[in-house]
């Protein structure tokens, strides 16, 4: 028989739960039970992987200490990991004994919390221990208390060995009808692999960075959309620029649906392009958005758009022809 003990306290020397757990472990070992103890505070960076250890057990002990309120963070993390990554079929076969010692109010409620949590997970709670112990020495020196703990450990052994049954609990039935764990469609192997990723700080940080980068890209795209996708046109014009001697001029292009005009300035071997206005441009063009985007995609030209009456212009036609000569959208 294999029994795993999961201790969720902080491991301080005078923790009475440690005294109770130590007594339980010694009794079980005298009964020739293989006992493996997991101090959750020692596994705090890999708690998501601990549900994998349930596969080796026939029963478990969940031990926690109420220091101010409830069962404590490490035990909650472990139970949460069982819900997310644990093999539910295996959990349904496991008996669990809760052990809760308190230095303040709430040991009964904490013990009940462990019972209910294990039932919701699908497991089988059995009779446990809870009590208010102000000083661990009081527990160590009290023969009656130690005998009680011994009897509870023996009862756990008999329960597992004889596979005792209990009446169905409403917690388990309601869980089946109302909700399922988020990884319910994953196999035990996939859940185990996922738990390893979750416990890997480097992997988690990388994923967070990737998500942040995607969020930034998405926000940038949203912002770009709100501005009318303005940044696309100047970039496309700059990429298509092929300098040619003797061609210079200033162009104001009014694209349908855009709040600002596209400004292009050619001065010999340089080109400046952006959004704004010009007091006295050499050429003014008014063009539909789809027609302009066809030009940027290399499917049309400024000259053909004007000749087909798809674009209106004011200025010297030679400047329009020169614009087609220096902007090669077919290869950008």
Please report the domains of the chain, with CATH numbers, ordered by start residue. 2-196 (3.40.50.360), 232-326 (3.30.1050.10)
Helix (H, G, I), strand (E, B) or coil at 232: helix
Overall average pLDDT of the 127-152 stretch: 91
Please provide the average confidence, as pLDDT, over all residues in the chain.
Answer: 84
Close Cβ partners of 235 (under 8 Å, ≥ 6 residues apart)? none
Residue 254 bridge partners (DSSP): 286
Contact 268, 248 (CB under 8 A): yes
pTM value is 0.58
Asked whether the predicted pLDDT for residue 228 surpasses 50, the reply is no
pLDDT given at position 41: 92
The pLDDT score that the predictor gives to residue 171 is 64
Whether 236 contacts 332, CB under 8 Å: yes
Judge whether residue 173 has pLDDT over 80. no
- What is the pLDDT, as a whole number, of residue 322? 87
- DSSP secondary structure letter of residue 47: G
Residue range 64-74: average pLDDT? 89
User: What pLDDT score was predicted for residue 24?
Assistant: 94
- Tell me the average pLDDT across 98-107: 92
In the predicted structure, residue 33 carries a pLDDT above the cut 60:
yes
Q: Which helix (H) or strand (E) holds 95?
A: strand 95-102
- 24-28, 35-39, 65-69: least confident range: 65-69
* Predicted pLDDT of residue 225: 47
Nearest to 271 by CA among 243, 246, 297: 243
Sign of CA dihedral 20, 21, 22, 24: positive
The per-residue pLDDT for 198 is 59
- How large is the C-alpha radius of gyration of the chain? 36
């Amino acid at each position: 028989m294999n029994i795993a003990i999961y201790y969720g306290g902080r491991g301080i020397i005078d923790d009475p739960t440690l005294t109770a757990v130590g007594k339980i472990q010694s009794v079980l070992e005298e009964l020739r039970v293989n006992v493996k103890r997991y101090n959750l505070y020692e596994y705090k960076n890999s708690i998501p992987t601990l549900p994998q250890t349930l596969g080796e057990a026939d029963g478990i002990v969940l031990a926690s200490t109420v220091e101010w309120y409830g069962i404590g963070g490490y035990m909650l993390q472990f139970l949460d990991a069982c819900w997310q990554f644990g093999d539910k079929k295996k959990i349904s076969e496991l008996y669990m004994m809760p052990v809760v010692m308190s230095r303040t109010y709430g040991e009964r409620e904490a013990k009940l919390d462990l019972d209910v949590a294990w039932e919701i997970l699908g497991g089988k709670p059995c009779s446990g221990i809870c009590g208010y112990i102000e000083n661990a020495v009081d527990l160590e020196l009290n023969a009656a208390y130690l005998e009680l703990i011994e009897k509870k450990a023996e009862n756990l052994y008999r329960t597992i060995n004889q596979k005792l049954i209990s009446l169905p609990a409403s917690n388990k039935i309601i869980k089946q009808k109302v909700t399922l764990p988020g990884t319910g469609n994953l196999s035990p192997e996939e859940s185990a692999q996922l738990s390893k990723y979750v416990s890997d700080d480097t992997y988690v940080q990388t994923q967070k960075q990737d998500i942040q980068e995607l969020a930034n890209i998405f926000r940038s795209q949203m912002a770009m959309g709100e501005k009318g996708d303005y940044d696309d046109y100047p970039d496309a014009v700059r990429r298509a620029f092929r300098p040619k001697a003797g061609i210079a001029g200033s162009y104001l292009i009014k694209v349908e649906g855009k709040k600002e005009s596209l400004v292009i300035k050619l001065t010999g071997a340089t080109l400046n392009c952006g959004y704004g206005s010009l007091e006295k441009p050499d050429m003014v063009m008014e063009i539909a958005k789809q027609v302009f985007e066809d030009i940027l995609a290399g499917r049309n030209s400024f000259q053909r758009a004007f000749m087909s009456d798809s674009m209106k212009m004011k200025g010297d036609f030679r400047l329009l022809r020169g614009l087609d000569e220096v902007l090669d959208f077919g290869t950008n």
